[in-house]
Amino acid sequence: MKLLVLPGDGIGPEIVAAGMNVLNAINDARELGLKFEYDDVGLDSLEKHGTTLRPELFDKISGFDGVILGPQDNLSYPPPEEGGVNISARFRIGLDLFANARPARTRPGVAQGKEGLDLVIMRELTEGFYADRSMFMGPGELMPTPDLAISIRKVTTKGCARIARAAFELAMKRRKKVTAVHKANVLKVTDGLYLEQVREVAKEFPEVELDDVLIDAMTAYLVRDPSRFDVVLATNMYGDILSDLASELSGSLGLAGSTMASDSQCFAQAQHGSAPDIAGQDKANPTSLILSIAMLLDWLSEKRGRDDLHEAAKAINGAIDEALADPSTRTVDLGGKMGTKAFAGHVAGMVK
């Protein structure tokens, strides 16, 4: 089984190296048989090849069982015509990575965490308010006159139905509740279509409870009592915003894993950005990417029928819980004293 590793920009190389330290440790200890190949994306690729994402790299991804992708510093990229490809967006659209799973859970001993938080946000990735995903050709944002800007939102029955089905399937493995987030009182057509499809898919899962909440009310409910939520289903932008809120409520944005997947491909990707201001300083918390790698192993376990990968993912999660429960083995952002490398080394030693 082969995984492609793309370190990315900013703190990407550091947290990817940390994640690979843990993954190599458990790969060797449990004889998982995973093999890894590294390649360049982002600013390193731009410097070497004139583009942040080479077409030949994109084309070879189908030959891998999964991808570990570091953060990207999109704000530093030149325009697309000068080689500044939005890497995540290109992968999401080109590989149809429609399902973004973003768990948020309060970790034992992390005092910043909101009590009772244990949910997964299932976010649609290929349409919605993100204008670069709304058109077959050309941008989804227009400026007909200097004082007028228009953005187009795309919502399809297919897109809504398949992300809803992914949410209900996940809920069947958890506490059997789905909360659909929307603003159908204002966006009557687009969010109305989304809700219609969610309710239709819900008929396939009679054991799962479905409720729906307006996006603005959802932010308040998450802060007040996150324990009421299990799987939160959302279109692209709502899911992006809510997942940052939920992960911060868990104790830190750096504690939340994330995967983006199609029916046949999965990427592990930290939920946070590239943090160029602390790049190279051994300050970054690698927990998010380590947990994302564990999620990738779980996805591969289910798709390939490999129970050993599921057990490896459980071991990584357990090691993270144990490390974070002890203030002396936390990273600086959580009140500890460990740097990126030391924390990863500690967790790697535990999974062995």
183 is known as an active-site residue? yes
Q: How confident is the model at residue 164 (pLDDT cuts 50, 70, 90)?
A: very high
- CA torsion sign, 317 to 242 to 271 to 54? positive
Q: Kindly tell me if the per-residue pLDDT of 44 is higher than 90.
A: yes
As a whole number of angstroms, the distance between CA 310 and CA 172 comes to 17
The class level of CATH for 114-249 reads alpha beta
Q: How confident is the model at residue 139 (pLDDT cuts 50, 70, 90)?
A: confident
Q: Kindly tell me if the per-residue pLDDT of 109 is higher than 80.
A: no
Predicted pLDDT of residue 111 = 63
Tokens representing 317 are 């999660």
Q: Which CATH number fits domain 1-101+254-352: 1.10.10.10, 3.40.50.800, 3.40.50.1220, 3.40.718.10?
A: 3.40.718.10
244 is known as an active-site residue? yes
Predicted pLDDT of residue 140 = 86
Q: Do domains 1-101+254-352 and 114-249 have the same CATH topology?
A: yes
Mean pLDDT of the 279-301 span? 96
* 299-325 confidence digits (pLDDT tens): 999 999 999 999 999 999 999 999 999
Q: Annotated catalytic residue: which of 40, 65, 240, 298?
A: 240
Task: From residue 39, give the alpha-carbon distance in Å to each of 64, 96, 272.
Answer: 13, 21, 21
Give me the residue spans of the domains in the chain.
1-101+254-352, 114-249
Q: Annotated catalytic residue: which of 130, 194, 230, 238?
A: 130
Secondary structure (H, E, C), the chain: CEEEEECCCCCHHHHHHHHHHHHHHHHHHCCCCCEEEECCCCHHHHHHHCCCCCHHHHHHHHHCCEEEECCCCHHHCCCHHHCCCCHHHHHHHHCCCCEEEEEEECCCCCCCCCCCCEEEEEEECCCECCHHHCCCCCCCEEEEECCEEEECCECCHHHHHHHHHHHHHHHHHCCCEEEEEECCCCCCCHHHHHHHHHHHHHCCCCCCEEEEEEHHHHHHHHHHCHHHCCEEEECHHHHHHHHHHHHHHCCCHHHCCCEEECCCCEEEECCCCCCHHHCCCCCCCCHHHHHHHHHHHHHHHHHHCCHHHHHHHHHHHHHHHHHHHCHHHCEHHHCCCECHHHHHHHHHHHHC
Q: Kindly tell me if the per-residue pLDDT of 112 is higher than 70.
A: no
Q: Kindly tell me if the per-residue pLDDT of 107 is higher than 70.
A: yes
Predicted pLDDT of residue 264 = 93
Mean pLDDT of the 18-27 span? 98
Q: Annotated catalytic residue: which of 59, 211, 216, 326?
A: 216
Q: Which of 99, 111, 53 is nearest to 80 (CA)?
A: 53
- Looking at every residue in the chain, the average pLDDT score rounds to 94
Predicted pLDDT of residue 13 = 97
Radius of gyration of the chain (CA): 20
Whether 329 contacts 275, CB under 8 Å? no
Q: Kindly tell me if the per-residue pLDDT of 286 is higher than 70.
A: yes
Q: How confident is the model at residue 251 (pLDDT cuts 50, 70, 90)?
A: confident
Predicted pLDDT of residue 206 = 98
Mean pLDDT of the 221-241 span? 95
Weakest mean pLDDT among 99-113, 173-187, 216-230: 99-113
Mean pLDDT of the 135-149 span? 87
216 is known as an active-site residue? yes
Q: Annotated catalytic residue: which of 44, 244, 282, 321?
A: 244
Q: Annotated catalytic residue: which of 183, 303, 314, 341?
A: 183
Mean pLDDT of the 195-205 span? 98
